[in-house]
Amino acid sequence: MKHLEAKKMWDDRFNSEDFLFGTEANTFLQEMAPKHLKENARILCIADGEGRNSTWLAQQNHQVDAFDFSDIAIEKAKNFARSKNVEVNYVVSDCESINWEVGDYDAIIAIFIQFSNPKERSRLFKDMLLALKPGGVLILQGYTPKQLEYKTGGPSQIENLYTERMINILLKNTKIEVLKSYEAELSEGKAHSGTSALIGVVAIKKPVSIWQFALSAIMMPMFS
């Protein structure tokens, strides 16, 4: 699906008084955040939709940036955060256009962002890790290929779905704290409802070792 077609499709889906994915934060995020996020963390929420996850994180006293490429979703997210008396920095952007700041975030939240083809997905995961500080946390949830049997949400293209092997490859340079495939009942608005085949991930960006830091210092003048 081309970019403009995808944007129109999501704008149409979000163009309702109801919240497409509900107003409650994702269950996996609610379970993992207290265990793995430091206090007052600087967090980026990717493809955050109508703001349910970013708003909840702001309610937990985190500093939250979030983006989505749907103008309609972002406007709803701003209003939702305002109704909860929290501040979130929302930006209209897609994953290719967003300014990925190197080492800027304590955590990145990627909940059901399975819209990328394999080439785009590889680049997106690299960008996410680049934006994390050393020791920063990636919390991710998605669907596994078995979800095609349930048809209760998520993409219909099998190449967009996650497997544990895929995650291990994409996050090979991190310390994976949680990696589990499981089935659960979702009740996240009308778009995610019913028995679902899920995968949950928590990964920590490894700190830069002394020798890596020294090597980068040596190499830097060569490219300046």
Section 63-92 average pLDDT: 97
Burial of 216 (0-12, 13-18, 19+ CB in 10 A): exposed
CATH of 3-223, one of 3.30.70.20, 3.40.50.150, 3.40.50.1820, 3.30.360.10: 3.40.50.150
Q: Which residues contact 85 (CB under 8 A, 6 or more apart)?
A: none
d(CA 170, CA 125): 7
Section 74-103 average pLDDT: 95
Section 100-106 average pLDDT: 91
Section 69-85 average pLDDT: 97
Closest alpha carbon to 36 in 183, 174, 209, 184: 174
Instruction: Give the angle 134-121-70 at the CA atoms, nearest 5°.
Output: 95
User: Reduced to 3 states, what is the DSSP secondary structure of residue 214?
Assistant: helix
Residue with tokens 């909860």: 84
User: Reduced to 3 states, what is the DSSP secondary structure of residue 190?
Assistant: coil
Section 127-156 average pLDDT: 96
Residue 210 binned pLDDT confidence (cut-offs 50, 70, 90): low
Residue 167 scores a pLDDT above 90 = yes
- Over residues 11-55, the pLDDT tens digits come to 788 888 899 899 999 999 999 999 999 999 999 999 999 999 999
